[in-house]
């Protein structure tokens, strides 16, 4: 595994809409592993492929240690409720803002084995899923946040 370079605000890759993954290849699996290592090394709870310069619909999330979600072509298929909380991003260091996100989400994705999976989440995990999926559409949390001074 290898730590990857996390792109920072201003890098055009962060504003691109990512392409779907058509085939899961050994390169896809290596990317998932490298993204997880990179996210953990940066003390993050999520990382999307465009944050490391790869314009594919791939993200990893880990809000509880050891509970890793690898998301290939993720889509939010249901959401409810609302939460307001502070949010940050590895690509925008030292900046925080208050965002409104759904309290509960259900995400459908493909896992590393090519299986369709669904995860229903609430609270921080729901927020992390939304944040990472936004990255895949070229959206950053600062687009919707009330920024703190």
Across 39-112, where does the E strand assignment appear?
46-48, 58-61, 69-80, 83-89, 92-101, 104-110
Beta carbons within 10 angstroms of residue 17's beta carbon:
11
- Of 62, 70, 87, 132, the catalytic one is 132
65: annotated active-site residue: no
Task: Scan for tokens 């409104």, then name that residue.
Answer: 100
Classify 137 as helix, strand or coil: coil
Helix (H) / strand (E) element for 117: namely: strand 116-122
- Residues annotated as catalytic are 132
């Amino acid at each position: 595994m290898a730590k990857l370079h996390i792109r920072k605000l201003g890098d055009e890759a962060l504003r691109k809409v990512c392409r779907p993954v058509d085939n899961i290849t050994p390169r896809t699996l290596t990317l998932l592993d490298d993204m997880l290592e990179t996210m953990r090394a940066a003390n993050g709870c999520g990382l999307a492929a465009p944050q490391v310069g790869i314009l594919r619909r791939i993200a990893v999330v880990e809000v509880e240690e050891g509970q890793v979600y690898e998301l290939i072509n993720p889509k939010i298929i249901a959401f409810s409720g609302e939460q307001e909380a502070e949010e940050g991003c590895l690509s925008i260091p030292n900046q925080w803002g208050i965002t409104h996100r759904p309290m509960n989400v259900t995400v459908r994705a493909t896992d590393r084995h090519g299986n369709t999976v669904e995860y229903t989440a609430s609270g921080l995990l729901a927020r992390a899923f939304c944040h990472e999926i936004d990255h895949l559409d070229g959206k950053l949390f600062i687009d919707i946040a009330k920024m703190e001074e």
